[in-house]
Amino acid sequence: MAAVLKLKSIKGRPVLRGYEHVWSVILELTRDGAPFTRHDVDQASCDPGDSSVSDYLRRLRAAGVIVAAGQAGTDPRYRRTVYQLVERRAEAPRLRRDGSEAPPSVQQLLWNTMRNLLRDGFNAKELAAFASTDDRLIKTVSVHSYIKHLAQAGYLHCLEAGRPRHLTKWRLKPSMNTGPKPPKILRTHAIYDPNTNNLHGEPVAEEVSP
């Protein structure tokens, strides 16, 4: 499931949205076994009423991770579905709309592989081959794009400059091996690291057609 992040600032607070944030809120709300509503999750987000919250709750319900446990409120016009968490997980479930488990994203596969190649490094072709799985063949062109943005944001160290018939060889900087979640390329072409909740690189905004 792709995460869509909108860069918005609300009174200087960090942006709190996306399925991983929703999951962290659910875990906190249900720490002592308490039920919760979508409204509860909304109140812990920077964008109350964001449709992605409802979408993720539907996916969790389809997967059986949460179940409906009644209604809250006495006025029929303003009743809210109460949910109960039945399956706690440390990591946010990555789910399709039908509730089935979604495969790791290409960025996740590439990031995992980069972290495993800290000693020897990699070029784009090698990274594509090592990161591909039986279910997902990663194209070298996709790797080139991810490498370019990570390099611009200061994540990668150039071990060997490219030359005719030889691709540039890179290595993930140990100081930028920030955690298991892959840095995400935003529509601004900045790099968002969900492990540290920081932006790296200078954002270059693009106009988005309505």
125-183 pLDDT, tens per residue?
999 999 999 889 999 999 999 999 999 999 999 999 999 989 999 999 999 999 998 99
Residue 73 domain-assigned (yes or no): yes
Residue 206 domain-assigned (yes or no): no
**CATH number for 160:** 1.10.10.10
Mapping DSSP to helix (H, G, I), strand (E, B) and coil, where does residue 46 land?
Answer: coil
Residue 209 domain-assigned (yes or no): no
| Same-domain status, 147 and 181 | yes
* Nearby residues of 74 by Cβ (< 8 Å), 6 or more positions away: none
Contact 201, 149 (CB under 8 A): yes
User: Looking only at Cα atoms, what is the longest distance across the chain?
Assistant: 72
The whole-angstrom separation of Cα 80 and Cα 75 is 10
User: Of 65, 85, 101, which residue constitutes the final position of a domain?
Assistant: 101
Is a pLDDT exceeding 80 seen at residue 10? no
| Same-domain status, 87 and 143 | no
Structural domain total, the chain: 2
Contact 189, 142 (CB under 8 A): no
66-110 pLDDT, tens per residue?
999 988 877 777 789 999 999 999 989 999 999 999 999 899 999
CA-only gyration radius of the chain, Å: 20
| Same-domain status, 115 and 38 | no
Contact 143, 110 (CB under 8 A): yes
| Same-domain status, 15 and 50 | yes
Query: 166 forms bridges with which residues in the sheet?
Result: 163
User: Of 72, 101, 130, which residue constitutes the final position of a domain?
Assistant: 101
For 128, the domain range is 106-200
Whole-prediction pTM: 0.69
13-41 pLDDT, tens per residue?
445 667 888 999 999 999 999 999 999 99
Contact 57, 66 (CB under 8 A): yes
